[in-house]
Structure 1
Amino acid sequence: MRIRHTAAALLGAAVLLAATACGSSGTQVAAGAPAAGDPAAGDRATGDRATGAAAGPETTLRIPDPGNSGALALGKKDGSLAAALAKVHAKVAWTGSAGPFAPAAQELNAGQLDVAQGSITSAVTALSQKPGFKLFAAIAPDNAGEGILVKDGSPIRTVKDLVGRKIAVNQGGTSEYLLLKALDRNGIPVDKVKRVYLVANQSAPVFNSGQVDAWATWSTFSVAALAGGAHFLADGAAVGSDNYSVWAVRTAFADQHPEVVRAFYQYLHQATAAQLKDPAKYVNVFTDAGPEAVKGKARDVTVDITGRGAPVEPIGADQLKRFDAVADFFVAQHVTPVRIDVRPHLIGAALLTGADVPTGGGS
């Protein structure tokens, strides 16, 4: 789906490291034409009048700010994203900052964001509510950047050593998924460990102070820990993770502006493919000094993990099988009350690429 030194630094790294099946069902409108019920339409028209545009109001795509690193950060700096969107009479507005998907999903539902990146694990949980978004693209699981962390020198040497220990997780998302997968794979009953539920960006100080024995997390936060004296007890590959990163778009926006979603997807695909070839170029895009910069070993870890990543792709049959595996696992582990079928919440690959991709069913 698909950097500040503290939590803000690593939020930017999510885009660096990271950060479909069914056709959209709404009425398609011409690029730039405001649609009824679009909460951003008034702002778009106001901004257009201010610039004196004559071709009608531009469509504004609201995206969480990528910070100092990643494909979108470089696209923001060099103007390539703006140029790609301009071809479909659209422009970008950077809103807030990239972070965990749960709050971003709420902002999508409330009409405060148009697109956001997260994990399929968090998306499945969010889809159990009344979602106002659909998934349109995915990035293969980050086996190198996610997992269960312990401090160097910890007596915990294997997953079975977690019995009786406290592990920091964020509820209903990547962290909890990784821990539960590790326990399941090693035949350890869930009640044999203590899950300590924390907001993701509050977990680092709790882990560093020794208040928990381990921490299940992903690359946004693991980079600093790996650079500062921790290691993976089990990474994504070791737990058999199906945790794809996904991109979500507000449903009303996709219905009203499919050409903008297509242009944004195509930019993400090309930019993340280029990032894999030269990951160092995408670190510290705006500055290599100050709290937003990634330095020393953390920079080396970031470049290494990014180089082992994958580009943004449409969601097809192979990805759906693994999304189903996450949904099945979450209901079996009582994370969600019922099994979530993601198919009604997908945008077809044909819209994104112009060529149909088999998805194994859906709306």
Structure 2
Amino acid sequence: MKNSRSALLATGALLATVSLAACGSAADGAKASADGAAGAEVELRLPDPGNSGFLALGKKDGTLDKALAAVHAKVAWTGSAGPFAPAAQALSADQLDIAQGSITSAVAALGQKPGFKLFAQTTPDGVGEGILVKNGSPIKSVQDLVGKKVACSQGGTSEYLLLKALEKNGIPAEKVERVYLRADQTAGVFNSGQVDAWATWNTFSTPEIANAGAHFLVNGKEVGSDNYAVWAVRNGFADKYPAVVAAFYRYLHENGLKEKADPAAYLNVVTDSGPTAVTPAEKDVAVAVTREGATADVITEADLVRFGTVAQFFADQKVTKSLVDVKPYVLDVSKLPGGGQ
């Protein structure tokens, strides 16, 4: 009896030990699984932000990755920021996840076979984009552009600004010669006098105004521009990682407000020398433009109406083959998990 009792106790102890071990293994497994999920970071591929702006600072000080860590994501910087047309192609080809552009370039891209949706907007830049002429140019009004050559990028901000200026002044588009050039290859052509004017945006207008003796013949506000800046996300990424898109949007919105409040703090984030550095003269222009600007925000019905106006204008001007309906390609970020502000 004693031996039987001892055997029973031993068996019970063994079973208890096995049971506890099993529970412990299950708990450890669950913890490992949870830790693995937290450690399985999603890569968000973004164009490199360069030397200025809140994304450049977010890359340098780690605040962007910190914001994304809450949704188990981190940034993989890919290439460099530039015109939206190639970025739209990269989004559709699964080479990029999020990129910024203009609604004008987005409309042109949406007229193809887009693989992206728009999820945020920044109201039009009234003072940083427009039509540049050299100081001392005989061109004093939009009417003076008749018979002249104007550099612009095809199917985006540049062409839109030029066509809007001509329409507002009752000038048929064919009365002005459009010279299609990539924006990053236009400065030399403009400064050498091979074209008479240049329709462009703040990335390129700021150094020309500050350093090269140019000024706006008319700016975006004066031509009645509806040229919003927009953020686009690859469809597959938005479908699979909506919380990451929402977290990125919140970062855009909050840090855009900070940059607007103190623009100078966001210039020359990486270096104050070299080709990417903002010169002292450029700093004053850049600060003034940023202070007049806005931050990224959700896309509202009122914004969609203005997007539609741009699409109709491009269709009327034969920039697009037909009218592009933007609405099906808009993502309501406020309805995403953790979305909104």
TM-score bracket, normalised by the shorter chain, equals: 0.7 to 0.9
Show the counterpart of 2:112.
129
**Distance in 1 of aligned mates of 2:313 and 2:337:** 31
Show the counterpart of 1:33.
none
- CA separation of 1:355 and 1:92: change in aligned 2, threshold 3 A: closer
Q: Which SS does the other structure have where 2:88 is aligned?
A: helix
- RMSD in angstroms over aligned alpha carbons? 1.6
Q: Which SS does the other structure have where 1:261 is aligned?
A: helix
Q: Which SS does the other structure have where 2:186 is aligned?
A: helix
Equivalent position to 1:270, from 230, 254, 258: 254
Contact 2:122 2:228 in 1 (8 A): yes
Alignment of 1:161-172 (within 5 A): 161-172=144-155
**Distance in 2 of aligned mates of 1:309 and 1:288:** 23
Q: Which amino acid aligns with 1:271?
A: N
**Is 1:146 the equivalent of 2:129?**
yes
Equivalent position to 1:330, from 307, 314, 317: 314
- CA separation of 1:82 and 1:332: change in aligned 2, threshold 3 A: same
Alignment of 1:68-79 (within 5 A): 68-79=51-62
Alignment of 1:269-308 (within 5 A): 269-308=253-292
Equivalent position to 2:234, from 233, 244, 250: 250
CA shift digits 1:19-42 (9 cap, x unpaired): xxxxxxxxxxxxxxxxxxxxxxxx
Contact 2:39 2:72 in 1 (8 A): no
**Is 1:83 the equivalent of 2:66?**
yes
- CA separation of 1:80 and 1:208: change in aligned 2, threshold 3 A: same
Q: State the Cα distance separating 1:267 from its structure 2 match.
A: 0.5
CA shift digits 1:143-202 (9 cap, x unpaired): 111000000000000000000000001110100000000000000011111000111111
**Is 1:182 the equivalent of 2:165?**
yes
- CA separation of 1:239 and 1:54: change in aligned 2, threshold 3 A: closer
Equivalent position to 1:59, from 42, 50, 61: 42
Q: Which amino acid aligns with 1:189?
A: P
Runs of 5+ consecutive residues of structure 1 not aligned to the other structure = 1-51, 358-363
Q: State the Cα distance separating 1:299 from its structure 2 match.
A: 1.4
Q: Which SS does the other structure have where 2:265 is aligned?
A: helix
Contact 1:265 1:352 in 2 (8 A): no
**Distance in 2 of aligned mates of 1:63 and 1:347:** 18
Equivalent position to 1:348, from 329, 332, 341: 332
**Distance in 2 of aligned mates of 1:69 and 1:287:** 9
Equivalent position to 1:222, from 205, 208, 214: 205
Alignment of 1:306-321 (within 5 A): 306-321=290-305
Show the counterpart of 2:7.
none
Q: State the Cα distance separating 1:53 from its structure 2 match.
A: 5.7
Show the counterpart of 1:117.
100
**Distance in 1 of aligned mates of 2:266 and 2:119:** 24
Given the two structures, how large is their TM-score scaled by the length of structure 1? 0.82
Show the counterpart of 1:259.
243
The alignment of Structure 1 onto Structure 2 pairs a total of residues equal to: 306
Q: State the Cα distance separating 1:355 from its structure 2 match.
A: 7.7
**Distance in 1 of aligned mates of 2:262 and 2:48:** 22
Runs of 5+ consecutive residues of structure 2 not aligned to the other structure = 1-34
Q: Which SS does the other structure have where 1:137 is aligned?
A: strand
- CA separation of 1:56 and 1:81: change in aligned 2, threshold 3 A: closer
**Is 1:99 the equivalent of 2:111?**
no
Q: State the Cα distance separating 1:92 from its structure 2 match.
A: 0.4
Q: Which amino acid aligns with 2:330?
A: L
Query: Which of the two has greater helix per residue?
Result: 2
- Higher mean C-alpha deviation, range 341-350 or range 251-260: 341-350
- Higher mean C-alpha deviation, range 212-221 or range 54-63: 54-63
Higher relative contact order (CA 8 A, sep 6+): 1
Look at both structures and tell me which one has the larger radius of gyration over its CA atoms: 2
**Distance in 2 of aligned mates of 1:325 and 1:239:** 14
Contact 1:207 1:215 in 2 (8 A): yes
- CA separation of 1:288 and 1:53: change in aligned 2, threshold 3 A: farther
- Higher mean C-alpha deviation, range 291-300 or range 208-217: 291-300
Q: State the Cα distance separating 1:292 from its structure 2 match.
A: 2.0
